[in-house]
Amino acid sequence: MKMGRAFLALALLVPAAMAAAAGHPHTVQGVLLKADPASRTIEVSCDAIPGYMDAMVMTFAVRNTEVLKNLQPGGTVRFAMMEEGNEEFADHLEAIKVQNYEAEPRRRAGSRTCTAPWTTRQRRR
């Protein structure tokens, strides 16, 4: 009976280990730097994926080059990073809109320079 339970546990763990070894998809978001339909690749400045990788520039293979027609360098993209053997490729690639919530620096009235706190110096007299 104990051997049957051990076999069952092993039978359940092997497929999970194989799936982990094959890699599971990671959602990647970043700025598209370059799209090259001829080589079927994109270059993306990727945001960090916590617990997996730091932010970095990476090149990914793209299997469906039709999606590259709708992408513009400088735009933000999101996709599933898939791993197959030694190759990482982008799947479900899409352009997304991102809003900037940072405030623009203020300008002094009649001045061409910013008055952002990090750009102004107070003179002492």
pTM exceeds 0.85, yes or no: no
Domain segments of the chain as ranges: 25-96
Q: Look up the CATH superfamily of 25-96.
A: Copper binding periplasmic protein CusF (2.40.50.320)
What is the sign, positive or negative, of the torsion defined by CA atoms of 26, 27, 31, 33?
positive
Q: Classify strands 56-62 and 87-96 as parallel, antiparallel or unpaired.
A: parallel
Q: What is the pLDDT along the chain (125 residues), one digit of tens a residue?
A: 555 554 444 444 444 443 444 468 999 999 999 999 999 999 999 999 998 899 999 999 999 999 998 899 999 999 999 988 888 899 999 999 877 767 777 666 666 665 555 555 554 44
